[in-house]
Amino acid sequence: MNPLITLVPPLVALPLILILGEKRRDARELVILVAGVLMFLANLAVYREVMAGGTPVSGALPLVGDFALKLSAEPIGVLFGLLASFLWIVTTVYSIGYMRDHHEKNQTRFYACFAISLAAVMGAAYADNLMTLFVAYETLTLCTLPLVMHSGTAKARSAGKVYLGILLFTSIGLLLPAVTWVALAAGTLDFRPGGVMADAGLSHAALAVLVALFVFGTAKAAVMPLHRWLPAAMVAPTPVSALLHAVAVVKTGVFALLKVMTYTIGIDTLQGANAAAWVLPVVAFTIIASSCVAFTKDNLKARLAYSTISQLSYIVMAALLATSLSISGGAFHIVTHAFAKITLFFCAGAILVTAHKENISDMDGLGRRMPVTFACFAIGTVGIIGIPPAAGSWSKLMIAGGSFDTGTVFWALVLMFSTLLNIAYLAPIPIRAFFRPDPGVPAGSPSPREETSAPMRWALTLTAALTLLLFLFPGPLIDLLELIRWR
């Protein structure tokens, strides 16, 4: 099974989307859905081969000297590929309902950029080396820019400038030098079990600088102070916000850090040099500070954006703790956070389209009008908080266990305090929606039902259900992560 096949469906769909255009939108949207299903099936085939002990690999495309573009499948990448391809199907169904109900313009351009984005994510997921990962990472930045600026307003253009400015500046100024440093020091950019830096001859101080370059250069992971692009991008349509937060951009950032720390630096090298010692406090600050900022936001999407910044730093912390348990927990948290957060963004979009509400202070009593939407929002809330019966509880416990493995409880305490903050800024939303009086309905009168359209309702219900099911049946994902070769 060649992992290159996972890129084929979205790339084949791209010209068909452009040809069909707005005049044949039913056929255009059918093409998108079929491509999503085929991409998921291709990822499923790769998963089965890896679980059977195989190592799917593509041919190499030489670029510079001995450095080439190449794809191969390993457990963390397979997990990310499965997640992105499955959620593409769900997000596409949701997008069809949202874009039609909200009468969005330029829908063909939206779906075309959507397809390129997922192809870039597949390239990142199965990258065999740092060169391939860097190319996929930058492609993703460029093809998601039109999605951020979709509305074409002055606010959207300003957000696009912030988005592109931060992500390109950090890539060129920090990430590219880090990649070049690895090439010069190790003589290779390949991902290898145990990393390639153990015998590179770098001092502990130099390794610490290299780790910092990767953490801050990968600005899609949104570690403060390089996080501002993420809340700025919330001006985009809600399906784009869901794509950014759960499927593509931010998840590619934290996934890249997991791969680099595991297969480039190596967990033994990272621990032995204590190379993350001064970066970890910055990550912990990001977890707490972004949660505190989220508490102050009345706009629902803005609150969810700062929540994402905090949750991403859970995964960055997991990568920097550099234990097998923490990195497995970080990879698992990519999945659990994806399902919970995409549910919350789907609900936010449903509330906007149906009730025309964006601010939390305007949502009193809205749960009785939209019971399915707010019930799913409550499930997504439990998933982000990370308590049973949501799958986020497992991934948080694994990351906390990684803290204990390093001989300190401090990082686990940071996660515990963050959990309390999650409760403080998320739980009041469904509570006020269900239990406060609806100002638009006379006392004692029943609230009218105003649920969203069927495609949107189907999508948010499915992701909410999976947030619960992953708590009960985490086995297949855990079995996959147990195949990671650490040394």
pLDDT digits over 178-201, tens only?
999 999 999 899 999 988 988 888
Q: In sequence order, what E strands does 120-220 have?
A: none
- Which pLDDT value is given to residue 109? 84
Q: Residue ranges per domain, the chain? A: 3-481
The secondary structure of residue 264, as a DSSP letter, is I
Q: Is pLDDT above 90 for 29?
A: no
3-state helix, strand, coil in the chain (%, to 5): 75, 5, 25
Residues 133, 17: Cα–Cα separation, whole Å: 27
Residue 445's pLDDT band (cuts 50, 70, 90):
low
pLDDT at 79: 95
C-alpha closest to that of 158 among 167, 149, 150, 166: 149
238: tokens are: 């809600």
For 452-487, b/e burial (b = at least 16 CB within 10 A) is: bbebbbebbbbbbebbbebbeebeebeebbeebebe
Interval 128-152 mean pLDDT? 88
Q: Rounded to an integer, what distance in angstroms lies between the CA atom of residue 285 and that of residue 98? A: 36
Specify the pLDDT at position 290. Answer: 94
β-pairing, 67-69 with 61-64?
Answer: antiparallel
Measured CA to CA, the distance from residue 179 to residue 167 in angstroms comes to: 16
Task: Read off the pLDDT band of 244 (50, 70, 90).
Answer: low
Q: pLDDT band for 235, please (50, 70, 90 cuts).
A: confident
457, 90 in Cβ contact below 8 A? no
| Residues in a beta bridge with 64 | 67
| pLDDT above 70 as % of the chain | 95
Residues across the chain? 487
| Average pLDDT of the residues in 122-145 | 92
Return the higher-pLDDT residue of 1 and 394: 394
pLDDT category of residue 446 using cuts at 50, 70 and 90: low
**Six-digit token pair at 253?**
């950032």
Nearest to 270 by CA among 329, 318, 226: 318
How far is residue 113's CA from residue 122's CA, in Å, rounded to a whole number?
14
Q: Is the per-residue pLDDT at 326 higher than 80?
A: yes
Query: Which whole-number Å values give the CA distances from 219 to 148, 163, 215, in the listed order?
Result: 16, 10, 7
Among 37, 49, 35, 36, residue whose Cα is nearest residue 3:
49
What pLDDT does residue 5 have?
A: 94
pLDDT at position 444:
60
Q: 273 pLDDT band (50/70/90 cuts)? A: confident
Q: Which residue has the higher pLDDT, 356 or 43?
A: 43
Distance CA 271, CA 359 (A): 45
Does pLDDT of 102 surpass 70?
no
Non-local CB neighbours of 32 within 8 Å, separated by 6+ positions: 13, 17, 92, 111, 114, 115
Asked if pLDDT for residue 355 goes beyond 90, the answer is: no
Least confident of 25-34, 171-180, 424-433: 25-34
Q: To the nearest whole number, what is the mean pLDDT of the chain?
A: 89
Mean predicted confidence (pLDDT) in 62-72: 85
Residue 67: its H or E element: strand 67-69
DSSP 194: T
Is residue 220 within 8 Å of 245, Cβ to Cβ?
no
Three-class SS state of 41 = helix
Average pLDDT over residues 371-388: 93
Q: Is the pTM of this model over 0.85?
A: yes
pLDDT for residue 101 is more than 90: no
For 58, other C-beta atoms within 10 Å of its C-beta total 19
Angle formed at CA 141 by CA 308 and CA 251, multiple of 5 degrees: 35
Provide mean pLDDT across the span 314-342: 93
The CA distance from 281 to 272, in Å, is: 18
Q: In the predicted model, is pLDDT for residue 154 greater than 80?
A: yes
Question: pLDDT at position 336, please?
Answer: 93
Instruction: Pick the range with the lowest mean pLDDT from 159-163, 383-387, 439-443.
Output: 439-443
pLDDT of residue 319: 94
CA distance 469 to 182: 41
What are 34's two structure tokens?
A: 């079929």
H-only helix segments in 322-365: 324-355
Interval 379-402 mean pLDDT? 92
Token reading at 85: 């391809």
Q: Alpha carbon 300 to chain centroid distance?
A: 19
Q: Can you state the angle between helices 371-385 and 454-472, rounded to 10 degrees?
A: 30
241 pLDDT more than 80: no
Q: What is d(CA 295, CA 215) in angstroms, rounded to the nearest whole number?
A: 26
Confidence of residue 452 (pLDDT cuts 50, 70, 90): confident
